[in-house]
Amino acid sequence: MKHVIIGAGPAGVVAAETLRRHNAKCSITLIGNEGKPPYSRMALPYLLIDRIAEPGTYLRQSPGHYDDLKIEYVQANVAAVDPDKKTITLDEGAPLAYDRLLLATGAHPIKPPIKGLDLPGVHTCWTLDDADEIGALAKSGAHVVLMGAGFIGSIILEALVLKGVTLSVVEMEDRMVPRMMDEVAGNMLKSWCTSKGVNILTGTKITEISQGDDGLNVTLDKGNIPAAQLVVVAAGVRSNIDFLKGSGVETKEGVMVDDHLQTNIEGIYAAGDVAQAKDLSTGDFNVLAIQPTAVEHGRIAAMNMGGLDTPHRGSLSMNVLDTLGLISSSFGQWMGEKGSDSATMVDKTNYRYLRLEFQGDCLIGAQSVGLSEHIGMLRGLIQSGTHLGNWKQILMTSPHRISEAYVSTLHKNAS
């Protein structure tokens, strides 16, 4: 059996490892295209602030890891997939045959149609090369404009501030992290960042960037900011699916997969940022471009590729963010859904927030600010669908007692 995995991010690497764990003999080829060992984009902000060197971003630390597991790691760009011949076309060399194919090509950052985004000094922060270039420009005292205060933007935000730059953040939505947290939390993050000297402009659009004498002139739809030495674009990501055109593999936002992470074509699977897979909370199929989902997908897709029937119940949306020391997280249906009960605790003075969403006596979503102890329990409760019983009523008025509720119900279930 010959397995080919396109993409050497977390989904691809975990898939390769999982395949090997269950079958010592099969052939596994892992295809990357950045000329680097498989690494983690999650780690780039830490590279940017020199907390780690480049090897610290690598997904696996053992030097001979892929060789030891007899995973053939090759560098190539995949141009096309031919399901009929069961081959993939590479940008150079002969086509590569497969028995099972995993699409784990990830995503790429969006550059919105704004004039000037192709100027030197405008960068996305997505690859090791990007990090190098941003690092060179984000000098202490420089004025840097960050476009987008979504999840990725907010992760980069901290690194830029730690580099000592003067930072302006421009977000077109009405708050920070609008797809991760509600108004209360988003605005709490904004006021926190503002108090730390970051200029956060929400509800504001960049309309044009041009080269000026003092640097890049960033034009906004309202207000002005000084010329910038660097503009970092974090306006969202999109699945890498262009190479599938004409292959017959069904795509929408990403590659459509079933509840075994298989595409519409037998033997072709998808995982990670490229896969449009089941969301545990809603049952809908969408792209959930987060690290834990990539790992889950990689593992489950590999099990199925290896012949071990393993259904995918759906992945849970979740994020954790550290914005200049303020930790926030969100899980599942954090915005609630029809008929759900909402319990909230807001302490603006101390930057603490907890919102729980229940359907019946089950937790279906949560978001927190300023909470770092036991936050995984929120995932545990949502994902397991644990019935909280009497604790639900307690939590409605005292959401902060969630960890007690968790341990209490866990132990009742376990004993």
Partner 1 sequence: MAWTRKILRVNLTEGTCVSEPLNMDWALKYLGQRGLGTKYLMEEIDPKVDPLSPDNKMIFATGPLTGTCASTAGRYSVITKGALTGAIACSNSGGYFGAELKFAGWDMIIFEGKSEKPVYLCIIDDKAELLSAEGLWGKSVWDTDAAIKATHQEPMMHIAAIGVAGEKGNMYACIVNDLHRAAGRSGVGAVMGSKNLKAVAVRGTGGVSVEDFGAFMKSTEAGKKALAENAVTGEGLPAYGTQVLMNVINESGALPTRNFRDVQFESANDISAEAMAEPRRSDGKPNLLTNQACFSCTIACGRISQIDKDHFSVVNKPEYWGAEGGLEYEAAWALGAATGVKDLEALTYANYICNEQGYDPISFGSTLAAAMDMYEEGVLTKKDTGGVELKFGSAEMLTKMADLTGTMEGFGEQLGLGSKRLCEKYGRPELSMTVKGQEFPAYDPRGIQGMGLTYATSNRGACHLRSYTVSSEILGIPEKTDPLSTDGKAGLVKAFQDATAAVDSAGLCIFTTFAWTLEDIAPQVDAACEGNWTPDTLMEAGERIWNMERNFNLAAGFSGKDDELPKRLMKDAAKTGPAKGMVSGLDKMLPEYYEVRGWNTKGVPTEETLSRLGV
Partner 2 sequence: MQKTLVIDPGKCTGCKQCELACSYVKEGSFNPSKSRIRVFDFHTEGRFVPYTCTQCDEAWCQQACPVDAITTDPVSGVKQVHENLCVGCKVCTIACPFGTINYNVASGKVVKCDHCGGDPECVKACPTQAILYSDVEQAGYDKMQQWAGKTDNAAPANSA
Helix (H), strand (E), coil (C) string for 214-231: CCEEEEECCCCCCCECEE
Of residues 336 through 355, those in contact with partner 1 by CB under 8 A are 345, 347, 350, 352, 354
Q: Which residue of 56, 121, 135, 236 would you call a contact of partner 2, by CB under 8 A?
A: 56
Write the interaction track for partner 2 spanning residues 253-292; mark x where CB under 8 A is met and - where it is not. Answer: ---------------------------x----------xx
Torsion of CA 121, 124, 130, 135, to 10 degrees: 60
Point out which span in 105-113, 137-145, 167-175, 306-314 binds partner 2 (CB under 8 A). Answer: 306-314
| Residue closer to partner 2, measured from CB, 95 or 370 | 370
Which among partner 1, partner 2, none contacts residue 254 (Cβ within 5 to 8 A by kind)? Answer: none
Which among partner 2, partner 1, none contacts residue 59 (Cβ within 5 to 8 A by kind)? Answer: partner 2
Task: Enumerate long-range contacts of 407-414, CB under 8 Å, 24 or more apart.
Answer: 409/381, 410/380, 410/386, 413/386
Write the interaction track for partner 1 spanning residues 381-410; mark x where CB under 8 A is met and - where it is not. Answer: ----------------xxxxx-xx------
- Diameter of the chain by CA atoms? 71
Which among partner 2, partner 1, none contacts residue 318 (Cβ within 5 to 8 A by kind)? Answer: partner 2
d(Cα 217, Cα 115) in Å, to the nearest integer?
Answer: 12
| Residues whose CB is less than 8 angstroms from the CB of residue 302 and which lie 6 or more positions away in sequence, other chains included | 14, 15, 16, 17, 18, 19, 22, 102
Write the interaction track for partner 2 spanning residues 313-332; mark x where CB under 8 A is met and - where it is not. Answer: xxx--xxx-x--x-x-x-x-
| Residue closer to partner 1, measured from CB, 72 or 404 | 404
d(Cα 120, Cα 250) in Å, to the nearest integer?
Answer: 37
| Residue closer to partner 1, measured from CB, 140 or 397 | 397
**Residue 190 identity:** K
Which among partner 1, partner 2, none contacts residue 397 (Cβ within 5 to 8 A by kind)? Answer: partner 1
d(Cα 360, Cα 363) in Å, to the nearest integer?
Answer: 8
Task: Enumerate long-range contacts of 77-82, CB under 8 Å, 24 or more apart.
Answer: 77/33, 78/6, 78/31, 78/33, 78/105, 78/243, 79/243, 80/243, 80/246, 80/247, 81/243, 81/244, 81/247, 81/249, 81/268, 82/247
| Residue closer to partner 2, measured from CB, 94 or 414 | 414
Report the nearest approach of partner 1 to the CB of residue 366 (Å).
Answer: 14
Residues contacting partner 2: total by CB under 8 A: 65
Straight-line distance from the first to the last Cα atom of the chain, in angstroms, rounded to the nearest whole number? 44
Which among partner 1, partner 2, none contacts residue 217 (Cβ within 5 to 8 A by kind)? Answer: none
Beta bridge partners of 233: 124, 147
Question: Per CB under 8 A, does 179 bind partner 2?
Answer: no
Q: Please give the angle made by the CA atoms of 346, 351 and 357, to the nearest 5 degrees.
A: 40
d(Cα 302, Cα 326) in Å, to the nearest integer?
Answer: 37
Q: Which residues bind partner 1 (CB under 8 A)?
A: 345, 347, 350, 352, 354, 397-401, 403-404
Q: Which residues lie near partner 2 (CB under 8 A)?
A: 10, 14, 21-22, 40-43, 46, 51-52, 56-62, 280, 291-292, 295-296, 299-300, 303, 308-315, 318-320, 322, 325, 327, 329, 331, 372-380, 383-386, 403-404, 406-408, 410-411, 413-415
